[in-house]
A = this chain, B = another copy of it.
Amino acid sequence: MQFETLSDIRAALAAAPKPDATALEAAKLRNSQLTKPPAALGRLEEVAIWYCGWRGNARAQIDAPQVIVFAGNHGITAQGVSAFPAEVTVQMVANFEAGGAAINQLSMLAGAKMDVHALDLEQPTADFTQGPAMDEAAFLAAFSTGWGAVDPASDLLVVGEMGIGNTTAAAAMACALFGGTGDDWVGRGTGVDDAGLARKTDVVARGIAANPEARSDPWTALRCLGGREIAAMAGAIAAARANCIPVILDGFICTSAAACLEQAQKGALDHCVAGHLSAEGGHRKLLDAIGKEPLLNLGLRLGEGSGAALAIQIVKGALACQSGMASFAEAGVSAG
């Protein structure tokens, strides 16, 4: 899918399907009959029912999860916002392709197909303290790449990213989408010191000042303050919705991409669950803003989709119980 205009994207989002109400009810009924006290599997039950609704099957299973890692480079790295040099983006893409990164191990463990899309790494986005990070054509191309990267045959999606400088871009987007100042949204990313943190806060403030129109529209926020990989993540999450593929959101950067969709159209993230709470400063606040409670809280702050890939196991566990357990009647167990 190549989106030619922003209106095409808006129309695709407006046409997004809803969960299957019949499967949802059947999943709830089945859950109530399984050999366990009511609600004893806690959040696994809610996750299983949610997933079954989207898949239109009260005994759904997860057989084909997909992990996609998008990579992009950022003009703002010139401002000293990262503990790592910008060339690490391309080096890490090579590491993904060679199978050496954390996300490779976690994808393999989860039985997920993993794809890597490097987006014009030789062409960083513009420094957003000087004006928009992307023009409309660059934004539409990146969003379309993300949309097209989703395998319609997959049954669960994780989107991750790599892009030196992108926690600053995500913080600027969050600031434009939800207000506050840079202080509210920046964190230490790959590990900047106090001076680096102050630079990030300042860069966010200058980015917002240089792109005042970003405050008024989420798509503009994404285009002016985001990056190619962030726009691609938004595209992939939207494509998953169009295909009724549930999504596990990763950390701060992934959530900033998702938040644009939610701000553009309320309910756009109904097919998404938050995989984990990142240790990155603004993530809790960003999850609160989109009304998502994370499945895991293990202090991860790596990106790449790592926290969400780990959470695939939790969603698989939920479905394994929902779809594999015997009912009280089948097992001959006395109900309480």
Interface residues of A (CB under 8 A from B): 34-44, 83-85, 87-88, 91-92, 94-95, 98-102, 104-106, 108-109, 190-191, 279, 295-302, 306, 310, 313-314, 316-317, 320-321, 324-326, 330-336
Q: Is the CB of A84 within 8 A of B37?
A: yes
Given contacts A35-B101, A314-B310, A321-B102, contact A334 B84 (CB under 8 A): yes
Distance in angstroms between the alpha carbons of A297 and B324 in the assembled complex? 23
Of all chain B residues, the one with the shortest Cβ separation from A297 is B297
CB-defined A-B contacts under 8 Å, sample of 5: A40-B190, A42-B298, A100-B325, A104-B325, A297-B297
Q: Is the CB of A87 within 8 A of B334?
A: yes
Q: Is the CB of A191 within 8 A of B100?
A: no
Q: Is the CB of A326 within 8 A of B84?
A: no
Of all chain B residues, the one with the shortest Cβ separation from A298 is B43
Distance in angstroms between the alpha carbons of A190 and B99 in the assembled complex? 45
Query: Which residues on B sit within 8 Å (CB–CB) of A100?
Result: 35, 325-326, 330-331
Distance in angstroms between the alpha carbons of A36 and B100 in the assembled complex? 11
Distance in angstroms between the alpha carbons of A39 and B102 in the assembled complex? 13
Of all chain B residues, the one with the shortest Cβ separation from A47 is B298
Q: Is the CB of A326 within 8 A of B42?
A: no
Query: Which residues on B sit within 8 Å (CB–CB) of A91?
Result: 331-334
Distance in angstroms between the alpha carbons of A94 and B87 in the assembled complex? 59
